[in-house]
Structure 1
Amino acid sequence: MDKKGSRFSGKRILVTGASNGIGKGIAEGLVSEGANVINFDLKKVDMPGVTTIQVDLTDWDATRKCLKDIGSVDMLVNNAGIAHPPADFVDTEKAILDKVLATDLMAPFNIGQYVAKDMIDRGKVLPAFCTASQYSPYYIAKAGMQMMTKCMALELGPHNIRVNTINPGIVIDTGIGQEHWSDERKAAGPKSRTPLGRFTTVKEVVGAVLYLLSDDSSMTTGSALIIDGGYLCS
C-alpha cells in the first residue's frame, strides 16, 4: 500500500483543466502526494507545485506543440470538459455540438494519443486516466469517451499502460454544480433518486483519481468507476 503523502513523489503529471473545479481539486490532491503537476488550461492559476501552460485544448496543433515543449510526463489526467445551455435534441445548434465534442472528446483523444505514443517510445509505464469529466452533445461526447477508454485500454495494455475513466454524478461544489443544482426545488428530484441522498463532492472525485493513478489499482484498466451515490441503481 502506498504511503500517504508520497504516492506520486517526483512524478510529473499532466492535468487538463486544473485551474478550477474538479481539476483544481485533482491537482491539489496530487501535489499533496508529492507530484509535480502541469496544468493545461486557458486560464492561468497560481498553485504551489503546479505549472500552468495556457492553451486552447480544441486547437489540435497548438496543444501538440505544448506537449512537445513540456517533454515527457509520467501520468495523464484528461479532466477538462465543458457543459452547455440545455436544449432539446431537435433544437441543438451545430456550433454547440462542435464546441462540446472538440473539448470533451477530441482534445482527450489528441492528448492521450500523444502521451501514450511517447510512453511507448520510451518503454515507460503510463497509468493514464481519462475522465472524462442532460444535454445531447455532452452525453454523446461522454459516450465516445467511454468507448475510447476501452479501445485505448485494449491496445495499450500490452505496453503496461492502464486507461480508466471515472463517471461522477452531480458534483455540487463546483461552479457548474452550483449554477445548475443550487436550487433545492430543482435538486430534490435527482437527490430523491440517489440512495445515499446527496450529491457528489470534489473531494470524493479526487479520491477516485488518486486511487486509479496509484499502484493500488495496478490491475484495473478499461474500467468506468461510477461515483454517483447509487443514482444509476434507481
Structure 2
Amino acid sequence: MELGLAGRRALVTGAGKGIGRSTVQALCAAGVRVVAVSRTQADLDSLVGECPGVEPVCVDLADWEATERALSSVGPVDLLVNNAAVALLQPFLEITKEACDRSFDVNLRAVIQVSQIVARSMIARGVPGAIVNVSSQSSQRALTNHTPSNWGPVMSLLQIRVNAVNPTVVMTPMGKAYWSDPHKAKVILDRIPLGRFAEVENVVDAILFLLSDRSGMTTGSALPVEGGFLAT
C-alpha cells in the first residue's frame, strides 16, 4: 500500500536503537527526509552511514534547556515520532526518586516539549501534520515492575493528528535480552492470544500508517500492537 510519505520531513526521537532506528530506516526508504535524535553519538554516526541524508541531532531529552537549543533550529517538520524512552523496572515498593524523575523527564516531559517545538512550526506554516507517540501496552494494563514507565500520552492539536502505538514486548536487542528467560516470558505470552511477542517491523508498520494520510480520520487514538493482550 502506497503511504504517500515521500517528500515530507520527519523527526524521530530515540533514533539510535531498536524501534526508533528501524523507523528512521523505513521512513528513509519511503522517501522521507529524517532528523534523527539520539543521546548517543556513535549510534547516530552508524545510522548516518546506513542512511545517507539523515540529519543527526545528539541530545539528552531529559535536559530541557539542551533540548530546546538542539531542536529550536531544526527547521520545518511535517511528521514527528516520539519514540525516546527509558525503562527503569522496579517493584512498586522499591521505586526510587531517581527512577521516577528520569522516567518522567524522558517518557512524558520530553514528549510534551518536543511536540510543542514541532507543533508550533506546523501551526505557523498551516501544515496538517501528524505525531505518533510510541507507548506500551503497560500504559493500559498493569505489569509487574513497570510502574515508573506506565505513561502513554495521546493528544489532539488543532489540525495536527496525534496518535499512539501501544506494543507488547518487542523483539529489539534489549527486548530479547530482558525477556530471554522462558519462565519470565511465559507470564506475558500466556496472556497474548497470538502466542508471540511483536517484531520491530510490526510496530514500525503501525507508526508509518498513523503518520500517513491513510489514517487521515484517526486522531487521539491508541493503536494496540500486542497480539490481543489487552483483550484478555
Deviations 1:145-204 (A, max 9, x none): 33xx2xx31xx23xx1100001000102x1321121112222122112211010001000
Q: Deviations over 1:92-150 (max 9, x none)?
A: 110110001101000010000111111111211111112236321111xx1xx33xx2x
**Partner of 1:166: helix, strand, or coil?**
strand
Instruction: Answer yes or no: is 1:35 the counterpart of 2:14.
Output: no
1:48-127 mapped onto 2 (5 Å cutoff):
48=51, 49-84=53-88, 86-127=89-130
Q: More deviation in 219-228 or 178-187? A: 178-187
Superposition CA RMSD, Å? 1.4
Q: Which residue of 2 aligns with 1:220?
A: 218
User: Out of 112, 122, 131, which is 1:128 matched to?
Assistant: 131
What is the CA deviation profile of residues 193-228 of structure 1, one whole-angstrom value per residue up to 9, with x for unaligned ones?
A: 211010001000000001000010000000000000
The structure 2 residue matched to 1:179, chosen from 171, 177, 180, is 177
TM superposition outliers: structure 1 runs of 4+ over 6 Å: none
Matches within 5 A, 1:152-163: 152-153=155-156, 156-157=157-158, 160-163=159-162
- How many matched pairs? 217
Amino acid at match of 1:3: E
Instruction: Quote the offset at 1:15 in angstroms.
Output: 0.1
Which letter does structure 2 place at the counterpart of 1:137?
Answer: P
Alignment partner, residue 139 of structure 2? none
Contact 2:203–2:225 (CA under 8 A) maintained in structure 1? yes
Gaps of 5+ in 1: none
Deviation (angstroms), 1:3: 2.6
Give the distance between the partners of 1:62 and 1:186, measured in 2 at CA.
38
Instruction: Kindly provide the amino acid, as one letter, of the partner of residue 96 in structure 1.
Output: A
Give the superposition deviation at 1:72: 1.4
Alignment match of 1:26 (pick from 9, 23, 27): 23
**Distance in 2, Cα, partners of 1:76 & 1:123:** 16
In structure 1, distance between residues paired with 2:94 and 2:40: 31
* TM-score normalized by the length of structure 2: 0.89
Aligned to 2:148: 137
TM-aligned CA deviation for residue 42 of structure 1:
0.9
**Paired residues of 1:128 and 1:162 also in contact (CA < 8 A):** yes
Query: What's the TM-score once normalised by structure 1's chain length?
Result: 0.88
Tell me the residue number matched to 2:140.
none
Tell me, which stretches of 5 or more residues in structure 2 are unaligned? 137-144
Please state if 1:13 is matched with 2:16.
no
1:20-77 residue CA offsets vs partner (Å, 9 max, x unmatched): 1010111111111100111111113233142211011111121112222211111100
User: SS of the residue aligned with 1:19?
Assistant: coil
Looking at structure 2, the residues matched to 108 and 132 of structure 1 have their Cα atoms a distance apart, in angstroms, of: 11
Question: What is the percent sequence identity of the aligned residues?
Answer: 41
Residues 15 and 38, structure 1, Cα contact 8 Å, conserved in 2: yes
Which SS does the other structure have where 2:73 is aligned? helix
Asked if structure 1 preserves the Cα contact closer than 8 Å seen for 2:5 and 2:30, the reply is: yes
